[in-house]
A = this chain, B = another copy of it.
Amino acid sequence: MHTTGRQIVLAARPTGTPKSTDFRLEEVAVPEPGDGEVLLATRYLSLDPYMRGRMDDRKSYAAPTPVGGVMEGEVVAEVVRSRHPDYGIGERVLARLGWRTHAVCDGTELTKLDSRFSPVTTALGVLGMPGMTAYTGLLTIGKPQPNQTVVVAAASGPVGSMVGQIAKIKGARAVGIAGGAQKCAFVKGELGFDAVVDHRSPDFADELAAACPNGIDVYFELVGGGVWQAVMPLLNQFARVPVCGLIAQYNNSGQPEGPDRLPATMREVLSRSLTMRGFIVREFWDQRPAFVDEVSAWISDGRVRFREDIVKGFANAPEAFIGMLDGRNFGKLIVEIDED
């Protein structure tokens, strides 16, 4: 057992795209669990786009990470010492430890991972926060009806891939947007979307229109920016737009250049009776048991497929995270801590 653990802290608030110097790897003593506590060793760290928001000093749904503070995040951890009656050595749990190799917890915020989480990394992706974001946002806000058209960008990623697959299960038509031939082939061939469009194509807007001959009834917003401009003219009356991510604008700073695109968006909201609804998955936390039951069954049936992009080595987390913001991951991005 190591007596020295590691953590990655926010070294500086990024301006625009984060740089590796905005993060700092620190060595810290591994703490001793007290009575009623466990010592956890992180096995897998989840990297997710929302973390970019916490790096800015801006009012949002969660407080920003302070400079010098440990980067936030969910992990799959293993109990390595236990002075808690409910947790035995070797048990796997889901925990919000942040970017740390070790932590002591009293058990109140741990979720045990049963055999449905196989492999255990699914607890961070398809059966975790990203999968549940897709499930709750699509079904509770998007409400796709049979034969309606559901569009999602970042369609090879952990949220987008689930949005399209759940839309298909509900009888809707799924159109994905992804970047590059490899991801597009995966979305259509492996995930079974009805159509896929490459947002890097110079004819992207026309190709999206061609892929949506009956317009768009649900646009699950993960990216913002230029994709929204291509989607907006295609939205049908009463279309629903669950808004749960804006990765294309997370790295923007300052006042974006004109023209001012807000009036046109407001006009479409009005003239087509659109619903735009922001949400954070924890709003729907009471749906978690139903989500895990239903989606784990869909995985067993082969109706839901998923892809994980596992980067080895705790120290590689910052570079992997920076690459994700640029779309360089392919599937749910997870850091495996294999040095222990």
Verify B278–A271 contact, CB threshold 8 A: yes
The docked-state distance in angstroms from the alpha carbon of A268 to that of B280 is 12
- Please name the residue on chain B nearest to A258 by beta carbon: B258
The 8 Å CB contact of A272, one of B228, B262, B263, B278, is B278
Q: Could you say which residues of chain B place their CB within 8 Å of the CB of A245?
A: 270
Chain B residue at minimal CB-CB distance from A274: B278
Decide yes or no: A266 and B61 within 8 Å by CB, A260-B260, A273-B279, A278-B273 being known contacts.
Answer: no
Measured in the bound complex, the distance between the Cα atoms of B274 and A224 in whole Å is: 16
What is the 8 Å Cβ interface bit string for chain A, positions 252-283, against chain B (1 contact, 0 not)? Answer: 10011111111101111111111111111001
Q: Is the CB of B263 within 8 A of A265?
A: no
User: Do residues A260 and B263 form an inter-chain contact, with CB atoms below 8 A?
Assistant: no
B280 and A273 contacting across the interface, CB-CB below 8 Å = yes
User: Is A244 close to B, CB under 8 A?
Assistant: yes
Nearest chain B CB to A133's CB is how many angstroms away? 12
Q: Does A243 reach chain B (CB closer than 8 Å)?
A: yes
In angstroms, Cα B273 to Cα A270, docked, is 19
Question: How far in angstroms is the closest Cβ of chain B from A234?
Answer: 12
Structural contact, B266 and A249, CB atoms closer than 8 A: yes
Q: Tell yes or no: A246 within 8 A of B by CB.
A: yes
Number of copies: 2
Cβ contacts under 8 Å, A244 to chain B: 270
- Give which listed residue, B61, B275, B279, B280, contacts A277 with CB less than 8 A: B275
Q: Name A225's closest neighbour in chain B (CB-CB).
A: B263
Whether A252 contacts B243 in the complex (CB less than 8 A), given A61-B237, A270-B278, A278-B273, comes out as: no
Q: Is the CB of A275 within 8 A of B275?
A: yes
A182 is an interface residue with CB less than 8 A from chain B: no
Nearest neighbor of A283 in chain B, beta-carbon distance: B273
Question: How far apart are the CA atoms of A225 and B266 in the complex, in Å?
Answer: 10
Select one of B258, B272, B273 contacting A260, CB under 8 A.
B258
Q: Which residue of B lies closest to A259 (CB)?
A: B255
Q: Does A3 contact B (CB under 8 A)?
A: no
- In the bound complex, CA of A249 to CA of B268 (Å): 13
A257 touches B256 (CB 8 A): no
Q: Report the separation of the CA atoms of residues A270 and B259 in the bound assembly, to the nearest whole angstrom.
A: 22
Other A-B pairs beyond A274-B278, A275-B276, A275-B278, 15, CB < 8 Å: A59-B271, A60-B271, A61-B272, A225-B263, A245-B270, A246-B270, A249-B266, A252-B263, A255-B260, A257-B259, A257-B260, A258-B260, A260-B260, A260-B261, A273-B280
A-B contact pairs, 13 of them (CB 8 A): A53-B271, A60-B271, A61-B237, A243-B266, A246-B270, A252-B263, A255-B259, A260-B260, A260-B261, A262-B262, A270-B278, A273-B279, A273-B280
| The 3 A-B residue pairs with the shortest CB-CB distance in the complex, in nearest-first order | A258-B258, A255-B259, A60-B271
